[in-house]
Structure 1
Amino acid sequence: MARFIINTLSNYYSGAISYVYIYELPWILNQIWRLVRSWLDEDAKSIVRFVTIENIFEYIEASNLPDYMGGYCRKDYRFVPKGVPSLEEMTINNGGTKKFGIKSDKDLKKLTEHFQKLIKLQ
């Protein structure tokens, strides 16, 4: 999948994309990346950059980063537009909770409460 995405971006959108930045990659995915990297050609490998909170400002200005990445972008990334279905509506309308790996209504409630802290409803 990664190979397809990177090759598609570099072959069809080469003028539109210079780099793919991967922010704070967890250590376990780092091992998977080593495997995926071996499948990529040199051009695809060269566009991938790994960044951390310590060096992200070398690539992206703080004014363009959200607060959780150490920036101060004014755009509200927690905003949820009107008309977007709730998590409950989405699961009910799309085959129920089990289809999404949610085992019970209790788990659904717990998940909903977790995400309520991260979003702003209008």
Structure 2
Amino acid sequence: MKRAEIAGKIGGMVGGFKRRERQRFLVNFLKIIEIEEYPNLRLTSSLAKKLIAAFSGYKSISNDVLVKEFGRGNNKVKQQNLDSIVDMLVLRYKTTYDEHWRDAKRKIDADAEEYKNIIIKEM
């Protein structure tokens, strides 16, 4: 294998690791919001997707993950209410999100570096 191919493979593995960790953080953060807002709010996968985009700007979270984590029968929120719910929750939790994300990102970056070093040693 050429050096560039190896570097590309390692980069892809580390990128995937960071993406999964970011996704895990976002899902867990939304679960915390759901607990805080219970019983007034039960998240749907659509609402979760909109919240993730509003908080983080990331729109590439897996729909399968959102449905698995937040898809429940008889848990419909009227579509026209989603934007106002998102606005209210972002206003309420944005500072908390920013603080938690800053810490989580540091940990994810450190863990990714460690993961990269493990991959390099194994090759």
Q: Which has the higher helix share?
A: 2
Larger Rg: 1
Structure with the higher fraction of residues in strand conformation = 1
Bigger relative contact order, structure 1 or 2, given CA contacts below 8 A and separation 6+?
A: 2
